[in-house]
Structure 1
Amino acid sequence: MTQTGRIAALVIAGLAAVGGMLVQTSSPAGGGFPLLLFAALIVLGTVFDAGYLARRRTSRGAWQLTAEREVDHQSGQILEVWYDPVTGERRYLPSGERPD
């Protein structure tokens, strides 16, 4: 998520939390809990998304070449398999190329 998207998500979460508190305190039956839960889910999703991106950024350059080789049936090229142990991602690249 971009920085602008993160800010927008947190603004929406703040508005939902304020709305939920207003509904909860103003009506005798409550009813603001769903908005408060919605706000909490947005905040948790935004926080964990930032952590996921940080982990992905730290894995740059950690690619390992495996012993696996594949043949691309369309081009006939031999593809080497690269593996990132941090994320578990695999990339199939033409022989001699490195992942970015």
Structure 2
Amino acid sequence: MLRISLLICGLGLTAIGMYLWIRDKCAFQPFLIWGGILVVAVLFERWRYRRNEHNHDRPWQSTGEKFEDPETGQTVEVHYDPVTGERRYMKK
């Protein structure tokens, strides 16, 4: 929801800047600059921090750790990737 709100604000600022530019006002630059920065930042954040799913082919090893997930009540087993050290919590 926050992402959509920021995107709408950025597009709104950009639209105001474009309107002022077309009307030949001198105060259009901050609207265009900050609106453009906001739109690019929101879109870049979505691309940059997406989940990386390409490492399914590596062998995950069990650590022997098990615990009960407090939200679902299911048993969770901890696995790790010996190459990267990444840990995964897999429900049984």
Pairwise TM-score range, normalised by the shorter structure = 0.5 to 0.7
Closer/same/farther in 2, CA of residues 60 and 45 from structure 1, 3 Å limit: farther
Identical-pair percentage = 15
Which of 11, 15, 20 is matched with 1:14 structurally? 11
Give the deviation of 1:60 after TM superposition: 6.7
Task: Output the aligned Cα RMSD.
Answer: 2.6
Q: Match for residue 45 of structure 1?
A: 41
Gap regions ≥5 residues in structure 1: 67-81, 85-98
Gap regions ≥5 residues in structure 2: 59-79
Regions of 4+ moved over 6 Å: none
Give the deviation of 1:59 after TM superposition: 5.9
Q: Distance in 1 between matches of 2:54 and 2:35?
A: 31
Give the deviation of 1:8 after TM superposition: 0.7
Q: Match for residue 58 of structure 1?
A: 53
Q: Match for residue 32 of structure 1?
A: 28
Alignment of 1:23 with 2:23, yes or no, is no
Q: Distance in 1 between matches of 2:24 and 2:16?
A: 12
Q: Given the two structures, how large is their TM-score scaled by the length of structure 2?
A: 0.54
Paired residue secondary structure (2:5):
helix
Q: Given the two structures, how large is their TM-score scaled by the length of structure 1?
A: 0.51
Q: Distance in 2 between matches of 1:59 and 1:46?
A: 24
Paired residue secondary structure (1:65):
coil
